């Protein structure tokens, strides 16, 4: 007889005699493993040692090829600029200028060629663009090479995402972000910077940051005092353009070589071909300046801006935290071929560059998939997207439509990521 036989119904126990039903257990949440930043740092150090041991002739040959491509663009640009104002010449001149900054100057100043066997002296960090003569030959731009080396190589790389980072876009644009003005007006500000930023932002900012550091060293200020006394970016930039002050005049002296060389001596070199040739070269040079500004703005500024990237309130307490913040506060662009990487100034490997700033471009490409795999292994988010998406993230941050994630430090950010 089965338990469901109706003849047994009268024998069923009373309800109050039944044992209480056990409460339904909540499904246990799977705990995410904690992110071990020390283990991540050990893996990054091991990869660094392997990459450095593999430096050789191929890396130098690759760098020289990229340098030649940039020089070829400039040569073809000038070779055709005298004929008439035209977009082809302007684009070529702009590309040559962008490549000289983002590929050549950027990596050489970071000692990217110092350890490469066979690299010539001119590509050593202690020689390239040092002094006026080398500046005229190696990298003639609005930005002073010495100021760039301090502002970018030291402050930006070792204070990435902090308030002391001179390139923290969200902080510098806070006034615009908070302004009660139409979004179209905010986009106008973004457009102004995009087409002028080497002169309107980068040159004065790097110049003033270096000058401030020199004053702080002379006054023997502590790190805390330096941070408390540091003027806002807007103040620094505006002070550079004031000819009534000693610093303002010094800034104009700093940018004069580029202004005279690019916009006066360059066009006048075509005078034997007639005044029309001079005017055409001048017009193409002006257009190239705007294009190169836009190009480098879209390459450089999005690397550390976006609602999926972190900024930090404190300095890192260890090498492991320093490595982690380079990943958490940086974004890569897609690429992988010589042409794609050249057109993006090798800034599409920004995560790898911040982890290994003293490696040449070819080694950054080699490191990219392995760094991405290490981030996946250790649970760190690795951002790599087409450049168009990163530019949109940048514009959203600049106009207040988006905000960066914020954490006390990289350790706190890792804990937040692990907690989901």
Q: Which three-class secondary structure string do you get for the chain?
A: CCCCCHHHHHHCCCHHHCCCCCCCCCCCCCCCCCCCHHHHHHHHHHHHHHHHHCCCHHHHHHHHHHHHHHHHHHHHHHHHHCCCCCHHHHHHHHHHHHHHHHHHHHHHHCCCCCCCCCCCHHHCCCCCCCHHHHHHHHCCCCCCHHHHHHHHHHHHHHCCCCCCCCCCHHHHCHHHHHCCCCHHHHHHHHHHHHHHHHHHHHHHHHHHHHHHHHHHHHCCCCHHHHHHHCCCHHHHHHHHCCCCCHHHHHHHHHHHHHHHHHHHHHHHCCHHHCHHHHHHHHHHHHHHHHHHHHHHHHHHHHHHCCCCCEEECCCCCCHHHHHHHHHHCCCEECCCCHHHHHHCCCHHHHHHHHHCCCCCHHHHHHHHHHHHHHHHHHCCCCCEECHHHHHHHHHHHHHCCCCCEEECCHHHHHHHHHHC
| Residue, of 70 and 5, whose pLDDT is higher | 70
The whole-angstrom separation of Cα 362 and Cα 205 is 30
Structure tokens belonging to residue 145: 């090479």
The whole-angstrom separation of Cα 274 and Cα 277 is 5
| Residue, of 217 and 394, whose pLDDT is higher | 394
pLDDT band per the 50, 70, 90 thresholds, residue 132 = very high
State yes or no: pLDDT of 60 exceeds 80.
yes
Share of the chain above pLDDT 90, in %: 80
Tens digits of per-residue pLDDT, 211-235? Answer: 888 887 877 766 666 666 666 667 7
**Range 16-25 average pLDDT:** 40
pLDDT band per the 50, 70, 90 thresholds, residue 32 = low
Q: Are 69 and 267 in contact (CB under 8 A)?
A: no
Q: Are 62 and 342 in contact (CB under 8 A)?
A: no
Structure tokens belonging to residue 217: 């060293």
Tens digits of per-residue pLDDT, 353-393? Answer: 999 999 999 999 999 999 999 999 999 999 999 999 999 99
State yes or no: pLDDT of 333 exceeds 50.
yes
Q: Are 164 and 227 in contact (CB under 8 A)?
A: yes
State yes or no: pLDDT of 33 exceeds 80.
no
pLDDT value at position 217?
Answer: 80
Q: Where are the domains of the chain?
A: 37-419
State yes or no: pLDDT of 247 exceeds 90.
no
pLDDT band per the 50, 70, 90 thresholds, residue 178 = very high
State yes or no: pLDDT of 28 exceeds 60.
no
Share of the chain above pLDDT 70, in %: 89
State yes or no: pLDDT of 286 exceeds 50.
yes
């Amino acid at each position: 007889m089965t338990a469901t036989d109706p003849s047994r119904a009268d024998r069923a126990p009373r309800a109050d005699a039944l044992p209480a039903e056990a409460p339904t257990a909540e499904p246990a949440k799977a705990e995410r493993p904690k992110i071990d930043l020390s283990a991540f740092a050990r893996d990054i150090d091991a990869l660094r040692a392997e990459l450095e041991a593999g430096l050789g002739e191929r890396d130098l040959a690759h760098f020289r090829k990229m340098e030649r491509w940039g020089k070829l663009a400039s040569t073809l640009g000038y070779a055709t600029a005298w004929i008439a104002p035209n977009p082809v010449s302007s684009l070529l001149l702009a590309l040559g200028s962008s490549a000289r900054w983002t590929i050549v100057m950027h990596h050489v100043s970071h000692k990217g060629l110092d350890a490469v066997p066979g690299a010539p002296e001119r590509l050593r960090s202690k020689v390239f663009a040092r002094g006026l003569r080398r500046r005229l030959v190696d990298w003639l731009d609005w930005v002073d090479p010495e100021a760039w080396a301090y502002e970018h190589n030291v402050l930006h790389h070792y204070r990435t995402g902090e308030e002391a980072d001179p390139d923290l876009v969200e902080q510098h644009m806070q006034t615009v972000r908070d302004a009660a003005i139409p979004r179209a007006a905010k986009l106008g500000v973004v457009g102004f910077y995009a087409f002028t930023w080497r002169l309107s932002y980068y040159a004065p900012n790097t110049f003033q940051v270096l000058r401030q550091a020199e004053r702080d060293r002379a006054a023997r200020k502590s790190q805390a005092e330096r941070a408390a006394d540091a003027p806002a970016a807007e103040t620094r930039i505006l002070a550079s353009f004031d000819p009534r002050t000693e610093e303002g005049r010094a800034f104009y002296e700093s940018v004069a070589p580029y202004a005279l060389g690019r916009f006066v001596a360059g066009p006048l070199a075509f005078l034997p071909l007639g005044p029309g040739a001079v005017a055409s070269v001048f017009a193409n040079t002006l257009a190239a300046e705007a294009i190169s500004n836009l190009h480098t703005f879209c390459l450089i500024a999005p690397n550390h801006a976006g609602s999926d990237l972190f900024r930090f309130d404190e300095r890192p307490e260890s090498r492991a935290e320093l490595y982690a913040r380079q990943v958490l506060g940086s974004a890569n662009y897609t690429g992988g071929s010589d042409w794609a990487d050249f057109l993006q100034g090798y800034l599409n490997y920004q995560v790898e560059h911040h982890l290994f700033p003293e490696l040449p471009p070819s080694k950054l490409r080699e490191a990219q998939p392995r760094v991405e795999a290490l981030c996946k292994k250790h649970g760190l988010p690795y951002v790599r997207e087409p450049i168009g998406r990163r530019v949109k993230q940048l514009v959203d941050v600049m106009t207040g439509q988006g905000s960066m994630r914020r954490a006390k430090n990289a350790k706190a950010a890792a804990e937040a990521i692990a907690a989901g």
